[in-house]
Amino acid sequence: MVSGRSSTARRRAPLALKILVAGGFGVGKTTLVGAVSEIRPLRTEEDLSEVGRPVDDTGGVEAKTTTTVAMDFGRITLREDLVLYLFGTPGQDRFWFLWDELAQGSLGAVVLADTRRLADSFAAVDYFERRGIPFTVAVNCFEGTERFPATSVRAALDLDAGVPLLLCDARERESVKTVLVTVVEHALDLVDPGHRHATS
Supply φ then ψ for residue 86, to 5 degrees.
-105, 130
Per-residue CA distances from 33 to 40, 122, 133, 157 (Å): 10, 21, 20, 23
Fold adopted by 18-191: Rossmann fold (3.40.50)
Mean pLDDT confidence for 80-103: 83
Q: Is the pLDDT of residue 41 over 90?
A: no
Of residues 148 and 43, more confidence is placed in 148
**What is residue 137's three-state secondary structure?**
strand
5: confidence class by pLDDT, cuts 50, 70, 90: low
The span from the first CA to the last CA of the chain, in angstroms, equals 29
Mean pLDDT confidence for 56-63: 49
Mean pLDDT confidence for 19-29: 92
Give the rounded distance of the alpha carbon of 9 from its chain centre.
31
What's the angle, vertex CA 164, arms to CA 153 and CA 24, rounded to 5? Answer: 55
Q: Is the pLDDT of residue 68 over 50?
A: no
Mean pLDDT confidence for 166-176: 97
Q: Is the pLDDT of residue 180 over 50?
A: yes
Q: Is the pLDDT of residue 10 over 80?
A: no
CB 75 within 8 A of CB 37: yes
Q: What is the pLDDT of residue 11?
A: 64
90: confidence class by pLDDT, cuts 50, 70, 90: confident
pTM of the model: 0.78
Q: Is the pLDDT of residue 36 over 70?
A: yes
Supply φ then ψ for residue 169, to 5 degrees.
-120, 110
| Mean pLDDT estimate for the chain | 82
DSSP line for 90-120:
P-SGGGGGGHHHHHTT-SEEEEEE-GGGGGG
Q: Given the DSSP bridges, would you call strands 82-88 and 66-79 parallel, antiparallel or unpaired?
A: antiparallel
Q: Is the pLDDT of residue 109 over 70?
A: yes
Q: What is the pLDDT of residue 56?
A: 46
Mean pLDDT confidence for 102-122: 95
Long-range contacts of 79-84 (CB under 8 A, 24+ apart): 79/14, 79/198, 79/199, 80/14, 81/12, 81/14, 81/15, 82/14, 82/15, 82/17, 82/184, 82/198, 82/199, 83/14, 83/15, 83/16, 83/17, 84/16, 84/17, 84/18, 84/19, 84/180, 84/184
pLDDT tens, residue by residue, 122-140: 999 999 999 999 999 999 9
